[in-house]
């Protein structure tokens, strides 16, 4: 079966993680598909199918295949939760061949496995067996096309139990993000959280020049939200900020601001760099003495990076974590990104999403100076993230969004000047 455009990145990733192998898609629609066996367990079912793949799950272990679908987040709807539960139950009974039309066969004739504790070549599977000290199987997803896309593997033991999650830095950009997350998790592990539940670092190393972060698995449950989810999110963010207390200071004296002033000089487009610099000037000039609470933020606080379990907020993807930022950035990021996922990314949608986090911000007399300062700081941080990302490898995927975020920053900083005059 000829791979679709959406399958090609997955097959390329498999070739990187199983060097020397050739992945091929086998379809039940093919006359040879149903009778072709998966050799040595080195193969994957494609969920839901090869035309729109979302995840590759191990075909050599019914229990592991079932476990791979027991992944839930606050972004998953009730109907999708039910679908996962039904499919996971069926897969646990060995019904993959009947329910999933496509799978990927790996030619592993020349592949060797590492023995536990060895640090040689072989496949990523062998490397993980060396780290974890036992035979394992994995599922694989790589997410939508974007600058920081990277392979994410879930690791299972011989009984199909989830052992770990793994991020692989297979590009320079992805590798830097994986390394940053390892550093952040190490720092966060020194804090005592009662509301937040974070993954722990099991291992961080390099395999075939790729950064590999192995983390403990957060075992999510189907009821990933619940009626008190909003309150749980707020308590979790309060706990995060209390763990990194910076007191109060004007925006221009925060570590975030110092970083923005330095990092924006990396923008290679003269016009974009000038426009962004003017926004920073307007923002700090409008609120030179406005005192803000300063703490930390997750950096990508969104429903698809969290779940609720036993009264705690499970939170993953910490590569964007930073401290020394005005309190409130995560509270703006959450509704904005949820809205953009539903409405699409346009300038109007960005402004509407910001309104959800800062109601009335477009009417200067309805907002405090502090609210405008935090809103401007958030947009400066997030727009610079996208602008710098658009310059790098895979940046075309976020080029349009980066320009729209800059436009939104220009509008908000102009309104901030008006707000400063009103107050």
Q: Give tens-digit pLDDT for 162-193.
A: 999 999 999 888 999 999 999 999 999 999 99
Residue 58 lies in a domain: yes
Is pLDDT above 80 for 159?
yes
Rounded to an integer, the average pLDDT of 60-83 is 94
Q: Pick from 194, 216, 238: which residue ends a domain?
A: 216
Residue in the structure block whose two tokens are 């020397």: 20
Co-location of 177 and 280 in the same domain: no
How confident is the model at residue 147, as a pLDDT?
Answer: 62
Q: Residue 156 forms beta bridges with which residues?
A: 137, 162
For residues 57 and 41, give the distance between their C-alpha atoms in angstroms, rounded to a whole number: 11
Is pLDDT above 60 for 29?
no
Enclosing domain of residue 404: 229-422
Is pLDDT above 90 for 136?
yes
Co-location of 68 and 209 in the same domain: yes
Co-location of 192 and 279 in the same domain: no
Residue 1 lies in a domain: no
How confident is the model at residue 416, as a pLDDT?
Answer: 60
Co-location of 212 and 284 in the same domain: no
Co-location of 136 and 198 in the same domain: yes
How confident is the model at residue 110, as a pLDDT?
Answer: 40
Rounded to an integer, the average pLDDT of 335-362 is 95
Co-location of 130 and 197 in the same domain: yes
34: pLDDT confidence band, cut at 50, 70 and 90? Answer: very low
Co-location of 195 and 263 in the same domain: no
Is pLDDT above 90 for 381?
yes
How confident is the model at residue 120, as a pLDDT?
Answer: 40
How confident is the model at residue 365, as a pLDDT?
Answer: 60
Residue 376 lies in a domain: yes
Rounded to an integer, the average pLDDT of 239-257 is 96
How confident is the model at residue 40, as a pLDDT?
Answer: 42
201 contacts 185 by C-beta, under 8 angstroms: yes
For residues 360 and 326, give the distance between their C-alpha atoms in angstroms, rounded to a whole number: 20
Q: What percent of the chain has pLDDT over 90?
A: 69
Co-location of 211 and 244 in the same domain: no
Assign residue 139 the CATH number of its domain. 3.30.200.20
Rounded to an integer, the average pLDDT of 83-98 is 91
If you write DSSP's letter for every residue of 61-125 in order, what string do you get? -HHHHHHHT----TTS-HHHHHHHHHHHHHHHTT-HHHH--EEEEE--TT---PPTT--SSS-HH
Residue 224 lies in a domain: no
369: pLDDT confidence band, cut at 50, 70 and 90? Answer: confident
Co-location of 354 and 400 in the same domain: yes
Rounded to an integer, the average pLDDT of 55-64 is 92
Co-location of 255 and 158 in the same domain: no
Residue 26 lies in a domain: yes
Average pLDDT, the chain: 88
Q: What percent of the chain has pLDDT over 70?
A: 88
82 contacts 155 by C-beta, under 8 angstroms: no
Residue 404 lies in a domain: yes
Domain count for the chain, please give it.
2
Q: Pick from 159, 191, 216: which residue ends a domain?
A: 216
Rounded to an integer, the average pLDDT of 341-351 is 96
Burial pattern 359-385, b for ≥16 Cβ within 10 A else e, equals: eebeebeebebbbbbbbbbbbbbbbbb
Assign residue 384 the CATH number of its domain. 3.90.1200
5: pLDDT confidence band, cut at 50, 70 and 90? Answer: confident
Nearest to 166 by CA among 181, 180, 156, 151: 151
Tell me: the pLDDT tens digits for 268-302? 999 999 999 999 999 999 988 899 999 999 999 99
Task: Fill in the DSSP letter of residue 3.
Answer: P
Residue 167 lies in a domain: yes
User: Which range, of 31-40, 200-209, 302-311, 317-326, averages the lowest pLDDT?
Assistant: 31-40
Residue 223 lies in a domain: no
Is pLDDT above 60 for 33?
no
How confident is the model at residue 370, as a pLDDT?
Answer: 83
Is pLDDT above 70 for 113?
no
How confident is the model at residue 90, as a pLDDT?
Answer: 93
Co-location of 233 and 130 in the same domain: no
111: pLDDT confidence band, cut at 50, 70 and 90? Answer: very low
Co-location of 149 and 261 in the same domain: no
Terminal-residue alpha carbon distance, the chain: 66
Q: Pick from 164, 195, 216: which residue ends a domain?
A: 216
The model's pTM is 0.90
77, exposed or middle or buried, with CB in 10 Å at 0-12, 13-18, 19+?
A: exposed
């Amino acid at each position: 079966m000829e791979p679709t455009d959406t399958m090609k990145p997955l097959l390329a990733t498999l070739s990187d993680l199983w060097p020397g192998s050739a992945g091929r898609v086998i379809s039940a629609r093919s006359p040879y598909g149903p009778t072709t066996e998966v050799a040595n367990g080195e193969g994957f079912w494609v969920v839901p199918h090869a035309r729109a793949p979302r995840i590759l799950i191990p075909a050599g272990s019914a229990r592991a295949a079932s476990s791979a679908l027991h992944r839930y987040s606050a972004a998953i709807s009730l109907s999708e939760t039910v679908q996962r539960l039904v499919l996971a139950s069926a897969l646990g009974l060995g019904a993959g061949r009947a329910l999933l039309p496509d799978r990927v066969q790996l030619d592993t004739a020349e592949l060797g496995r590492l023995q536990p504790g060895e640090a040689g070549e072989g496949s990523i599977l062998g490397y993980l067996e060396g780290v974890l000290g036992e035979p394992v199987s994995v599922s694989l997803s790589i997410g939508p096309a974007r600058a920081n896309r990277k392979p994410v593997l879930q690791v299972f033991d011989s009984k199909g139990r989830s052992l770990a999650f793994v991020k692989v830095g297979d590009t320079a950009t992805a590798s830097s993000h994986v390394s940053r997350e390892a550093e952040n998790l190490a720092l966060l592990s020194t804090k005592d959280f009662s509301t937040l539940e974070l993954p722990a670092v099991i291992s961080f190393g390099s395999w075939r020049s790729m950064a590999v972060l192995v983390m403990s698995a957060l075992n999510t449950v189907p009821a990933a939200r619940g009626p008190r989810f909003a309150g749980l999110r707020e308590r979790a963010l309060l706990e995060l900020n209390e763990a990194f207390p910076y007191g109060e200071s004007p925006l221009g004296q925060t570590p975030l601001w110092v970083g923005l002033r330095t990092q924006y000089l990396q923008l290679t487009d003269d016009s974009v760099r000038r426009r962004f610099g003017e926004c920073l000037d307007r923002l700090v000039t409008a609120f030179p003495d406005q005192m803000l609470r300063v703490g930390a933020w997750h950096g990508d606080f969104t429903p698809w990076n969290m779940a609720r379990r036993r009264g705690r907020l499970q939170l993953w993807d910490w590569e964007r974590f930073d401290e020394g930022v005005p309190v409130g950035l995560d509270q703006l990021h959450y509704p904005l990104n949820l809205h953009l996922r539903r409405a699409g990314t346009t300038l109007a949608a960005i402004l509407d999403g910001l309104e959800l986090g800062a109601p009335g911000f477009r009417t200067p007399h309805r907002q405090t100076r502090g609210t405008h300062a935090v809103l401007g700081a958030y947009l400066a941080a997030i727009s610079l993230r996208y602008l710098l990302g658009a310059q790098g490898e895979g940046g075309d995927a976020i080029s349009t969004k980066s320009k729209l975020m800059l436009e939104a920053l220009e509008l908000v900083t102009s309104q901030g000047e008006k707000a400063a005059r009103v107050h």
